[in-house]
């Protein structure tokens, strides 16, 4: 069983829903919703494949395009159901980064890259789609704010190699390292954890110019 492909598709679904929810919040039209869902779901994977010198996955396999299209349609149709899920955008975005981190690390290992580069590939794969989404939606990308985001991906990537050294089964490594990403980000929100800020309270940024 190709676990990487399964996780890749699940990540596409999660990020597609995340993109739909963001574009609905911005009250975009149908075309805008589809575009945001598309770039959110494949942006990170496209960067990953380009950096690794691999064929871009959604250009080679139309399954990704079909999954994005049908997920987008279903998310729009059932948007009221999704709205009942408190913090649904956060939920699907968190699932997406967990899945894409693992896929990115695995792709890096397949290319025989060093562990630290694999972790970097996993982190970029997980975060870049959200960066494009936020920029197109005129928001500050979450990765550039003090919220725990890329840090969760890095910790998940590190845990992947810890479990690998402990000779865990491959399928279990995928599940556990993805869960680390998700739990770190959930814990950061629940316990209001964040990276330290370099700015003092009420500091006037104009002083630097």
CB 149 within 8 A of CB 127: yes
Cβ proximity of 10 and 77 under 8 Å: no
Query: Residue 162: which residues within 8 A CB-CB, separation 6 or more?
Result: none
Residue ranges of the domains in the chain? 3-196
- pLDDT value for 1: 55
Spans in the chain with pLDDT lower than 50: 208-209
Residues 123 and 64: their CA atoms lie apart, in Å, by 21
pLDDT number for residue 32: 96
pTM of the model: 0.88
Nearest to 177, CA basis, from 127, 123, 135: 123
Q: Helix/strand/coil (H, E, C) string of 176-197? A: HHHHHHHHHHHHHHHCCCECCC
């Amino acid at each position: 069983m190709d676990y990487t492909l399964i996780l890749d598709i699940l990540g596409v679904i999660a990020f597609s829903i995340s993109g739909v929810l963001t574009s609905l919040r911005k009250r975009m039209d149908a075309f805008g919703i589809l575009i945001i869902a598309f770039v959110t779901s494949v942006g990170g994977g496209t960067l990953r494949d380009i950096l690794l010198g691999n064929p871009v996955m959604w250009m080679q396999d139309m399954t990704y395009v079909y999954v994005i299209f049908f997920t987008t349609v279903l998310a729009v149709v059932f948007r009221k159901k999704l709205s009942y899920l408190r913090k649904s955008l956060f939920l699907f975005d968190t699932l997406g980064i967990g899945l894409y981190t693992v896929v990115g690390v695995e792709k890096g290992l397949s290319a025989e890259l060093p562990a630290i580069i694999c972790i970097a590939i996993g982190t970029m794969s997980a975060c870049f789609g959200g960066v494009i989404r936020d920029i197109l939606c005129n928001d500050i990308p979450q990765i550039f704010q003090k919220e725990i985001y890329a840090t969760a991906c890095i910790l998940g990537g590190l845990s992947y190699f810890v479990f690998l050294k402990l000779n865990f089964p491959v399928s279990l490594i995928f599940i556990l390292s993805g869960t680390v990403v998700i739990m770190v980000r959930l814990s950061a929100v629940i316990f209001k954890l964040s990276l330290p800020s370099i700015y003092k309270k009420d500091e006037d940024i104009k002083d630097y110019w």
